[in-house]
Structure 1
Amino acid sequence: MAITDKSDKEIIEIVEPMIDEVVDASNQKDWDSFSKYQTDEEARNPENRKSVERQWKESDLLTSLTPEREILGVLRRGDVAVVYWKQTSTKVPGEYLATYHIKEIDNKIKEVGFLIV
């Protein structure tokens, strides 16, 4: 069964522990933990790492994410499931839209995108 064939509830149950780890890693500026669920090529891509580390340096938001979130829903795009939620920060006021994109690759669930706007 493809990830996109699962129910919203099943997808959210799979993704929430992943999001917890990625949010914590972002706050800690810990690349190894942050990239844990990325595809191997993304995790090993020096330009990807450099971009994320630059964003950590330039954005208080990305290093002060709260662990609490309000999941808004799940979207399906081809073979990718996108979970989206309200994200807040301990330092930056307001609510932000966060998305976490996952895909099944070689029988493993991999992150293929994480965005906060």
Structure 2
Amino acid sequence: MAITDKSDKEIIEIVEPMIDDVVNASNKKDWSLFSQYQTDEEANDPENRKSVERQWKESRLLTSLNPEREILGVLRREDMALVYWKQTSNKVSGEYLASYHIKEVNKEIKEVGFLIV
């Protein structure tokens, strides 16, 4: 069954532990934990790593994410599922829209995008 054929509940159950790890890794600036669900190409791309580490240095938000979240919904695009939630920080005021994009790659669920705006 393709990821896009799963119910919202099933997709959220798959993604929540992945998001927990990525949020925790971002707060700790831990690249190996942060990249563990990325495709091999992304995880091993030095430019990708440099970009993420630069964002960790420049953005207080990205290193102070609250682990609690309010899931807003799931969208499906071609072979991807996108989970959206309300993200907050313990150092930066306000609410932010976060999204985590997954798809199946070689029979494994992989992250193909993580954004906070």
TM-score interval (norm. to shorter): over 0.9
Aligned residues: 117
Shift >2 Å, 4+ stretches = none
Query: What one-letter code is carried by the residue in structure 2 that aligns with 1:70?
Result: E
Identity over the aligned pairs, expressed in percent? 83
Structure 2 stretches lacking a partner, 5+ long: none
C-alpha deviation, 1:19, in angstroms = 0.2
- Aligned CA-pair RMSD: 0.2
Partner of 2:82: 82
Partner of 1:15: 15
Partner of 2:26: 26
Query: What one-letter code is carried by the residue in structure 2 that aligns with 1:55?
Result: Q
Q: TM-score, normalised by structure 1?
A: 1.00
C-alpha deviation, 1:50, in angstroms = 0.1
Deviation digits for residues 52-109 of structure 1, max 9, x if unmatched? 0000000000000000000000000000000000000000000000000000011100
Deviation digits for residues 26-54 of structure 1, max 9, x if unmatched? 00000000000000000000000000000
Q: TM-score, normalised by structure 2?
A: 1.00
1:42-81 aligned within 5 A: 42-81=42-81
